[in-house]
Structure 1
Amino acid sequence: MTPEEIKRYFEAFPPPKEVHWKPWARITDSELFLKSCHSAINNYKGPLERCPAWWHLKDFYLFIKEKNQHTESKAKVP
């Protein structure tokens, strides 16, 4: 997965504006959070795997994707 693939995912399936991500991390503007991550990744001079913004973006993507799958499976139960 690349930052561009994650960007396309969130363009197709936008996250909610406010996300209670972790007990210590509450995102009040997910669009701004995503823009900030992409900007930091684009400006990072080292390897992608060492970029903190990449790790935050990837973790957020996995969290939202899992949340969406959980919501979809709940909706299918009669």
Structure 2
Amino acid sequence: MNHEEIQRYFESSPPPVEVDWKPWAKITNTQVFLKSCYIGIKNFNGPLERCPAWWHLRDFYLHIKRTAVKENTAAEEAVSE
């Protein structure tokens, strides 16, 4: 998945406003975070795989996807009980 596909994903299903991403990283405004990643990627001169903004965007996307799967699983278990 490239950054344009991730951007379309977040435009169609926005993440929560605040996200506890890592023990040392809490994002208080995900839209500002995403916008800074998009700008960083756009302005990076070099291969995409060496762009720090790309890695942040990719890792954040994976975190959101994992969190959604966990929440769906928990919701399904609660309904089945």
What TM-score results when the alignment is normalised by the length of structure 2? 0.92
Q: CA deviation at 1:72?
A: 1.0
Q: CA deviation at 1:73?
A: 1.4
What secondary structure, in the 3-state scheme, does the structure 1 residue paired with 2:4 have?
Answer: helix
Partner of 1:22: 22
Gaps spanning 5+ residues in structure 2: where?
none
Q: Deviations over 1:22-47 (max 9, x none)?
A: 01111000000000000000000100
The alignment-based identity, stated in percent, is 59
Partner of 1:44: 44
AA aligned to 1:68 is A
Q: Runs of 4+ in structure 1 displaced over 3 angstroms?
A: none
Match runs of 1:36-75 below 5 Å: 36-75=36-75
AA aligned to 2:49 is E
Aligned residues: 78
Gaps spanning 5+ residues in structure 1: where?
none
Q: Deviations over 1:12-64 (max 9, x none)?
A: 22111011100111100000000000000000010000000000000000000
What secondary structure, in the 3-state scheme, does the structure 2 residue paired with 1:14 have?
Answer: coil
AA aligned to 2:25 is A
Larger radius of gyration: 2
What TM-score results when the alignment is normalised by the length of structure 1? 0.96
